[in-house]
Structures are given as structure tokens and as C-alpha cells.
């Protein structure tokens, strides 16, 4: 049973109940974007309010076969059989809406989460993945009805997986998503259009002089177009094909390729790069992506939600390629429709767009203006303020 702890009582000793957590971020290590959003929010809270926030992987508390299928199985499926992934998405989404099995999985994980917390109850929980929303829905219903749950949707579209009756607040990227949630029965007052939390450094734009100095620091030439290729944290997408095709263009190019955590793919890309007529720098997972964006003339990336939010804030001209079925296709469509990015459906289109962007200042200007209209580089700070402003209450389990 949950009961408010009297403010007049002394704090529990180290051998008794532990002090309650103020905020917990529950995410999922499927790809990199969901946890990146959580950590961006954590940094904003720590910088402004001075207290630490835990980030936990929600699949850590699920049954082992389910966790393996959701993480390793997902990665294998989208890499090797994307067409099958497309076919499975819609039935899976309907199942998520019906869901006795989903409820059972959430209850199982909620029990394990409760054990992990050792009696400490968070006052506020932020979920940056739909499975985390499921877990916290079950947790709230079974153990902590007073806990406040915020779901941060980390794409530019709403999927049924995110919607649960126990969610107190939804944070979305734009007003069309708010309307979509209202259509699904969510109260309008529960929805905030703050944007997707990203590292605030993406919004710190460099002047021409700063960009030149930064290029020198990063070892990039000043007299070439710098083109950046990204495949998300998992190194997905046709990076090798893009690299080879760029080598056929008669333009002074220098290419930076970010392969993420995919070490095998990085080695393959380095082998390709050694045979190309242009300069190429192949990187793995890096923490200064924002610096490379600041000095790039063009970025090509798969349209993951976090990647899209970051490029909007950085205002680097962008071509979106090879979206995964589902949310990434919707992300690409949204940015393209708002004039904030170009979307290429085939390799021939990609190379023509590369030439257009690099050689046409009007196109670059139009893209950066479109980005400026829908970018929300302050999303993490806005959400941090919204979470930390309300009155605090302490709860314990007895």
C-alpha cells in the first residue's frame, strides 16, 4: 500500500527505507535515440536544478526471451529483413492496442522494477520508449497510483504503442501529433508540444570564423565541401553505397562517415574509403556529432527521430535516405513536407540532390529556413522546467 510520508517524521536511517527518488527516466536500449533523449533531459535537469536522475533500461526488467527478442531480434530484423519488419508492424500495432499479453509483460517487468528500487518510489517517471510506458502503466496501477508518468514520444508521428490510460502527460514534437493523440482519446490538456529532447549543443550554431577554426581542430579541409554520412547509432543504411556513389561525382568533396556502434561495418567502410579518389574520415560512435554537423555543408542520414531533431537544431542541409518502415518513413515525410529536409527514394535521386544542395545557395537557404521554422533545440530545457516546477510530495511503500 502507498501512503504519504509525514513531513514531521525524521528521514529514514541508512538501514531503513531509502530516501525517495525525485525523477526516474525509463528508456530502452533499442538503437541509441531513446536513451539519447533520456540523457539529454537528465543533463538539462542536472544543470538547472543540481540533482542527479537515474536512467534505466526498461527491457532490463522484462523476461529474458522478450528482452532478447526486442533488442537483438529487432536489430537483426531491420538490418537483414526490412520488408518483413514492414509486414509485421501493423499487426503488432493492433495487438498492442488489444493486449492481454502486453499487460502481462508489463506487470512482470513492473515487479522486477519494484524490487530494483528497494522501496524507493519515484515521484515522476519519464518514459522515452513505448515499452517503458507499458511497464510504468502496470507499475502505477499495482504499486504507486500517485506517481506521475510523462511519455516523451521520440518520433514525429504517434504510434499506438505509446498510448496508455495511466500516462499523465505526453510530450510531442509538433501540433499535428497533439491532434492525433486527441483523436485517440487523450485529453488535450495532457499534451505538451515541447519537442524531442536533444543535447543543447546541437542548437549552438557556429559563425563562419568559428566553423573554420573547428574544421582545423577536426582535421577537415577548408577548401572542400564536407559531406557527412550517418546511419544512426547502429550504423544502419546504405553508407557504403553512398560513399561509392559520392566518389563518382566531379566535385571537391571530403566525406565524414559515422558508423555508430557497428564495428564490422566501420571496417568495411574504411576498406571502401581507401580506394576512393576523395578524402574520407570513417568514425565509430562519437560524442561530438554536433561539431561535425556545425562544419558540414551537407548531411545524409536515415530519419530516426533523434537524428531528425538534431539536424533541425543544427540547421545543416540534410538529405534523408533509407528510412526504416513505420515511424522513420513518417519522420522523413514530415520534414520533407515542411521544407526542412530533402527525401530521396532511390540512389539516383540522392546523387542529383547532392549536386543541387552543394552547388545551389538558394536551395541551402530554403532548407535552413524550413528547419528554423520547426526546430525545437530547447526541448530538453523546457521539459526539465515543467517536470521540476511542481510541488514535491514524498511517498513510501509499507
Percent of the chain topping pLDDT 90: 66
Better-predicted residue by pLDDT, 306 or 391: 306
What class is the 2-198+379-397 domain?
alpha beta
Better-predicted residue by pLDDT, 52 or 215: 215
134, with CB counted inside 10 A (0-12, 13-18, 19+), is buried
Measure the CA–CA gap between 262 and 246, rounded to whole angstroms: 21
Report yes or no: 376 and 145 within 8 Å, Cβ to Cβ: no
Model confidence pLDDT, tens digit, residues 99-120: 677 888 899 999 999 999 987 8
List phi, psi (to 5°) of 383.
Answer: -70, -40
Hey, where are the domains in the chain? 2-198+379-397, 206-374
Fold match flag (2-198+379-397 vs 206-374): yes
pTM: 0.86
**Does pLDDT of 235 surpass 90?**
no
Average pLDDT score over residue span 74-89: 50
Average pLDDT score over residue span 347-370: 95
Q: What is the DSSP string of 63-118?
A: -HHHHHIIIIIHHHHHHH-HHHHHHHHHHHHHHHHH-HHHHHHHHHHHHHHHHHHT
> What pLDDT, on the 0 to 100 scale, is given for residue 101?
75
Pairing of strands 169-172, 191-193: parallel
Q: The domain 206-374 belongs to what CATH superfamily? A: Glycogen Phosphorylase B; (3.40.50.2000)
Average pLDDT score over residue span 29-43: 91
Average pLDDT score over residue span 212-233: 93
* Mean of pLDDT over the chain: 86
Better-predicted residue by pLDDT, 63 or 168: 168
**Does pLDDT of 64 surpass 80?**
no
> What pLDDT, on the 0 to 100 scale, is given for residue 194?
98
Measure the CA–CA gap between 378 and 294, rounded to whole angstroms: 17
Measure the CA–CA gap between 296 and 285, rounded to whole angstroms: 18
**Does pLDDT of 302 surpass 80?**
yes
> Could you tell me the pLDDT band of residue 255, with boundaries at 50, 70 and 90?
very high
**Torsion angle of C-alpha atoms 171, 176, 177, 183, degrees rounded to 10:** 120
Measure the CA–CA gap between 238 and 301, rounded to whole angstroms: 10
Low-confidence winner among 24-38, 146-160, 384-398 (lowest mean pLDDT): 384-398
Average pLDDT score over residue span 148-157: 97
> What pLDDT, on the 0 to 100 scale, is given for residue 234?
64
Measure the CA–CA gap between 241 and 255, rounded to whole angstroms: 13
Instruction: Compute how many other C-beta atoms are within 10 angstroms of the C-beta atom of residue 179.
Output: 13
**Does pLDDT of 392 surpass 50?**
no
Average pLDDT score over residue span 226-239: 82
Amino acid at each position: 500500500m502507498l501512503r504519504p510520508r509525514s513531513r514531521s517524521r525524521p528521514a529514514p536511517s541508512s538501514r531503513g527505507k531509502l530516501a525517495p527518488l525525485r525523477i526516474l527516466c525509463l528508456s530502452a536500449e533499442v538503437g541509441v535515440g531513446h536513451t539519447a533523449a533520456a540523457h539529454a533531459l537528465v543533463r538539462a535537469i542536472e544543470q538547472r536544478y543540481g540533482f542527479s536522475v537515474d536512467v534505466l533500461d526498461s527491457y532490463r526488467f522484462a523476461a529474458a526471451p522478450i528482452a532478447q527478442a526486442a533488442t537483438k531480434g529487432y536489430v537483426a530484423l531491420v538490418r537483414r529483413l526490412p520488408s518483413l519488419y514492414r509486414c509485421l508492424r501493423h499487426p503488432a500495432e493492433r495487438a498492442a492496442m488489444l493486449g492481454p499479453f502486453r499487460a502481462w509483460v508489463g506487470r512482470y517487468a513492473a515487479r522486477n522494477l519494484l524490487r530494483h528500487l528497494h522501496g524507493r518510489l519515484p515521484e515522476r517517471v519519464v518514459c522515452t520508449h513505448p515499452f517503458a510506458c507499458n511497464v510504468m502503466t502496470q507499475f502505477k496501477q499495482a504499486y504507486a497510483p500517485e506517481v506521475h508518468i510523462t511519455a516523451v514520444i521520440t518520433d514525429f508521428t504517434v504510434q499506438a504503442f505509446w498510448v496508455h490510460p495511466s500516462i499523465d502527460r505526453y510530450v510531442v514534437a509538433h501540433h499535428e501529433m497533439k491532434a492525433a493523440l486527441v483523436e485517440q482519446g487523450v485529453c488535450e490538456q495532457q499534451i505538451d508540444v515541447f519537442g524531442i529532447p536533444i543535447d543543447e549543443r546541437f542548437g549552438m550554431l557556429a559563425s563562419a570564423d568559428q566553423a573554420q577554426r573547428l574544421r582545423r581542430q577536426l582535421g577537415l579541409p577548408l577548401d572542400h565541401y564536407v559531406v557527412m554520412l550517418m546511419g544512426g547509432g547502429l550504423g544502419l543504411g546504405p553508407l557504403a553505397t553512398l560513399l561509392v556513389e559520392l566518389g563518382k561525382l566531379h566535385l571537391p568533396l571530403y566525406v565524414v562517415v559515422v558508423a555508430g556502434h557497428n564495428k564490422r561495418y566501420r571496417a568495411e567502410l574504411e576498406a571502401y574509403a581507401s580506394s576512393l579518389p576523395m578524402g574520407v574520415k570513417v568514425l565509430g560512435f562519437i560524442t561530438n556529432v554536433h561539431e561535425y554537423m556545425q562544419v558540414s555543408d551537407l548531411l545524409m542520414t536515415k530519419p530516426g527521430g533523434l537524428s531528425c531533431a538534431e539536424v533541425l537544431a543544427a540547421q545543416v542541409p540534410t538529405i534523408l535516405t533509407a528510412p526504416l518502415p513505420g515511424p522513420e518513413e513518417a519522420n522523413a515525410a514530415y520534414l520533407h513536407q515542411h521544407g526542412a529536409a530533402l527525401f530521396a527514394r532511390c540512389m539516383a535521386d540522392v546523387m542529383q540532390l547532392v549536386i543541387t544542395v552543394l552547388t545551389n545557395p538558394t536551395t541551402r537557404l530554403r532548407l535552413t529556413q524550413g528547419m528554423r521554422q520547426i526546430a525545437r533545440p530547447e526541448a530538453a530545457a523546457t521539459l526539465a522546467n515543467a517536470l521540476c516546477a511542481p510541488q514535491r510530495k514524498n511517498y513510501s511503500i509499507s
